[in-house]
Amino acid sequence: MQGQSAKNLKEYEGEDQVVSSHEFALRLKENPDSIIRVKSLIPSLDVGIEDFRDGEVIGISGPPKTGKTLLAQTLTVNFAKQQYFSLWFTYEVPARQFLSQFPEMPLIYLPSKLKAHALPWFEERVQESFLKYHTRIIFIDHLHYLIDLARLRNPSIEIGQVIRRLKTLAVNGGFIIFLLCHTTKGARENNDLSYESIRDSSFVSQESDTVFMIKRTPDVGENTAKLRVEFHRRTGVLEKVIDLVKVNGLLQEQTPREERPVRRDWDSP
Amino acid sequence: MVTPFPASDFYAELEAWTLDQIRAGQESISLMAEIRERSAGNWEIEKLTRAIIFDEVQIIEGLKGEAGRARAVCEESQRV
């Protein structure tokens, strides 16, 4: 690099120019640190992770039929209570069934027709929904519908690329993306379910800001489940377990029953 | 000669009108969400936009029921 080129770079003032940390910090002060902060309204989860913020990709995983979609629907309803309305891509459950699963249907947005294995189409619908309805929260049920597995030579690496693209979309567009993903075969039998059980796990966990694992606990109760926050980058939470129970069609935190005092014989008058 | 029951036209119109109103409500919610975001830190605007969004959601809820009833009546009268 010589002459004119070096001179041009020395005087370069583009939006991506290199600046000092002090100048950068001053610029950051001009802008709010996050566009959107939304709570889960699950108390222990909110204590652990504080809130969900724009630019975050959250993985939700667990064996089939253990409440991934239910957890996502619960969060959708809780976000709507805070007046943040979500955009849903419900590939796995037909839209009619998906909507009927809400005890009271909240205001959400979804494409009239879904197109699987089409990431550019997905990105376009996200932008459409943002411009029309200002939606910043996106649910994808589930990850493998965004990818044409049959055409992939190395699924794990290509899934990594897709998740990186979702992360870029979340950061650049100020979105929060919830990504539901399946676990590997045999994960249901595994009692120590962790993010390593996620199908094509390495990239899902590497690129996500947090991973939630959910598993039903039939030994505790018919409608109970365990939510495990595998990790949370921003707060540093690790392997936090929260007991959930399904009440009126949605999940809520299970509070330990207050222990009743045991009546003993010598208490009686 | 059998003439179509005019009520079906009326209810079809009503359903279309209600759907337009729902869309208008959604536009309003979108606009309020945008204003709320741009005025982050201004509690007065935040409170106002939240109140408007709340009202719009309630109105949409009501209209949703009305559209459903209009469609049901429309289908019923077409069957007659």
Residue B19 lies in a domain: yes
Report the pLDDT value the prediction gives residue A85, as an integer from 0 to 100.
96
Domain hosting residue A216, numbered range: 34-255
- List CB contacts (< 8 A) between A133 and chain B: 26, 29-30
What residue in B sits closest to A109 (Cα-Cα)?
B26
Q: Which residue has the higher pLDDT, B40 or A252?
A: A252
**pTM, whole model, 2 decimals?**
0.82
Domain-embedded: residue A261: no
Q: Which of A134, A136, A175 to mutate to test the interface with B (most CBs of B within 10 A)?
A: A134
- Residue B16, pLDDT > 80, answer yes
The structural domain count of chain A equals 1
Instruction: Tell me if A28 is assigned to some domain.
Output: no
Asked, for residue B20, whether it belongs to a domain, the answer is: yes
Taking residue A175's Cβ as centre, other Cβ atoms within 10 Å add up to 24
Structural domain count of chain B: 1
Question: For residue B80, is pLDDT > 70?
Answer: no
Q: Which residue has the higher pLDDT, A245 or A155?
A: A245
Structure tokens belonging to residue B75: 């289908």
pLDDT(A137) > 50: yes
Tell me whether residue A236 is in a domain. Answer: yes
More confidently predicted of B79 and A220: A220
Say yes or no to pLDDT of A258 above 50: no
Is B1 domain-assigned? Answer: no
Q: The domain spanning residue A126 has which CATH number?
A: 3.40.50.300
Contacts of B36 (CB under 8 A, 6+ apart): B45, B46, B49, B50, B53
Note down the domain range covering B72. Answer: 6-79
pLDDT of residue A204: 76
- The rounded Cα A97 to chain-centroid distance in angstroms is 22
A23-65 tens-digit pLDDT: 888 887 777 677 889 999 999 999 999 999 999 999 999 888 8
In which band, very low, low, confident or very high, does the pLDDT at A187 lie, cut at 50, 70 and 90? low
Any domain includes B38: yes
Taking CA atoms, what residue in B is nearest to A86? B30
Dist. CA B35–CA B33, nearest whole Å? 6
Note the pLDDT of residue A129: 95
Which residues, 6+ apart, have CB-to-CB distance to A105 below 8 Å? A99
Q: Is the ipTM of this complex over 0.85?
A: no
Q: Is the residue at A183 inside a domain? A: yes
Does position A238 have pLDDT exceeding 60, yes or no?
A: yes
Contacts of A255 (CB under 8 A, 6+ apart): none
Q: Is B18 contained in some domain?
A: yes
Q: Is B39 exposed, middle or buried (CB count within 10 Å of its CB: 0-12, 13-18, 19+)? A: middle
Cα–Cα distances (Å) from A175 to A55, A58, A163, A236, B58, in that order, read 5, 11, 14, 21, 26
Report if residue A228 sits inside a domain. yes
Question: Do A134 and B53 count as a contact with CB atoms less than 8 A apart?
Answer: no
A107 and B54 in contact by Cβ < 8 A?
A: no
**Contacts (Cβ under 8 Å, ≥6 apart) of B57:** A83, A107, B25, B29
Interface test with B, best of A83, A86, A128, A130 (most B CBs within 10 A): A83
